[in-house]
Amino acid sequence: MRAVVLPGIQQTLVVEDNYPDPVLRGGEGEIIEITACGVCHSDLHVVDGEFPSPLPLVLGHEVAGVHPELGPVLLYAPWGCGACPQCADGDEMICANSSEAGLFTNGGYCDRMFVPDRKYLAPLGDLDPITAAPLACGGLTAYRAVDHGRKALAPMQRQGRVLLIGVGGLGQYAIRYLRLLTDAKVIALDVAEDKRSRALEFGADEAIGPDEDIAPCDLIIDFIGSDTTLATAAGTVARKGMIIVVGLGGGQTNFGLGKVPPEARFMTSFWGTRQQMDDLLDLARREPSIMPSVETLPLTDAQHAHNRLREGQVAGRIVLIP
């Protein structure tokens, strides 16, 4: 089969036309034919050697495919060990021994892939698999972060103010969810003018650049996570407000009494559960507007897709088609 392989850290992706086909392991597992695979910014972090991923590796964790019996499916890629307390709670994505497809085991930049269990395949039904593919990570991660955030906003007796830092692939989903699921005022902060315009189209109340003043916000979701954006978040969070860090920018900030407003909370949010992916697919069926249109490129253009994402030249999500 054809596969796009990352040979080593900071190396160029290689298209291999005779990559070995995936096989069942001891007769166990499933094989899916891949229809579409989204390109997530986390793929660039793998290329940059920021994750302890075993290389060479076939990247790609936003996978829509076809299963011989289930038909069109969306892949849940963070596979837990099934034996730890996190897995028992359904939080497979934070299992210490998880094997995340496309990040730690071969993923979806290819024609076919192995999936260890049918439970990781969510039937898509009538949803368009190409538009739906990025729901598997971009959509799901933003959904979980907004879900955490809604719990923080819920006790408030007034309209909450929400700041989203970085409204690229993930942040754009968050705008839609906040619009549909809360009555919060949504402010989008992005360095790129085109992302700010897109944020307003998706329903943000305001879109601002990094140097603009912002009144205190009750909820801040930081989709970048750099020193700079964490400093913005810490300087903007309201008393009793919450900062949720999603971006893997590797930044740090001061936390402590007197360092942040009274009772401000910080947390990270990681991917999402299988239940949340099912809930998200139900939401997508009711509200197709949560799935922004995507740009497609042939799988063989994966390196070009990476270059464009790195340069900020992707409006929403690129989806690779084998």
Which residues in 23-42 contact Zn ion (CB under 5 A)? Answer: 40, 42
By CB under 5 A, the count of residues binding Zn ion is 3
Q: Which is nearer to ligand NAD, 73 or 220 (CB)?
A: 220
Which residues in 228-267 contact ligand NAD (CB under 6 A)? Answer: 228-229, 246-249
Contact present, 121 and 130 (Cβ < 8 Å): no
The least CB distance from residue 38 to Zn ion, in Å, is 8
The least CB distance from residue 178 to ligand NAD, in Å, is 15
Which residues in 198-227 contact ligand NAD (CB under 6 A)? Answer: 210, 223-224, 226
The least CB distance from residue 210 to ligand NAD, in Å, is 5
Q: Which is nearer to Zn ion, 35 or 42 (CB)?
A: 42
The least CB distance from residue 41 to Zn ion, in Å, is 7
Contacts of 168 (CB under 8 A, 6+ apart): 41, 190, 195, 223, 312, 314, 316
Task: Tell whether residue 190 is a contact of ligand NAD (CB under 6 A).
Answer: yes
Among the residue ranges 25-33, 119-127, 160-168, 252-260, the one whose residues contact ligand NAD (CB under 6 A): 160-168
- Of ligand NAD, Zn ion, none, which one does residue 270 interact with (CB within 5 to 8 Å by kind)? ligand NAD
- Of ligand NAD, Zn ion, none, which one does residue 166 interact with (CB within 5 to 8 Å by kind)? ligand NAD
Q: Which residues are paired to 245 by β-bridges?
A: 222, 268
Contact present, 292 and 132 (Cβ < 8 Å): no
**In this structure, how many other beta carbons lie within 10 angstroms of the beta carbon of residue 179?**
18
CA distance 172 to 167: 5
Contacts of 113 (CB under 8 A, 6+ apart): 22, 31, 32, 34, 58, 63, 65, 75, 101, 106, 107
Q: Which is nearer to ligand NAD, 126 or 211 (CB)?
A: 211
Backbone dihedral region of 48: left (phi > 0), alpha (psi from -120 to 50 degrees) or beta? Answer: alpha
CA distance 296 to 236: 37
Contacts of 188 (CB under 8 A, 6+ apart): 164, 167, 171, 175, 195, 196, 199, 200, 204, 206, 207, 208
- Of ligand NAD, Zn ion, none, which one does residue 41 interact with (CB within 5 to 8 Å by kind)? ligand NAD
Letter for the amino acid at 81?
Answer: C
The least CB distance from residue 239 to Zn ion, in Å, is 33
Q: Which is nearer to ligand NAD, 22 or 138 (CB)?
A: 138
The least CB distance from residue 32 to Zn ion, in Å, is 18
Q: Which is nearer to ligand NAD, 22 or 134 (CB)?
A: 134
Contacts of 158 (CB under 8 A, 6+ apart): none
3-class secondary-structure state, position 282: helix
Q: Which is nearer to Zn ion, 55 or 156 (CB)?
A: 55
Among the residue ranges 6-14, 17-25, 63-71, 131-139, the one whose residues contact Zn ion (CB under 5 A): 131-139
3-class secondary-structure state, position 3: strand
Cα–Cα distances in angstroms (integers) from residue 190 to residues 117, 148, 222, 228, in the given order: 39, 22, 11, 12
Which residues in 34-73 contact ligand NAD (CB under 6 A)? Answer: 40-42, 45
CA distance 231 to 218: 16
The least CB distance from residue 206 to ligand NAD, in Å, is 14
What is the contact surface with Zn ion in residues (CB under 5 A)? 40, 42, 137
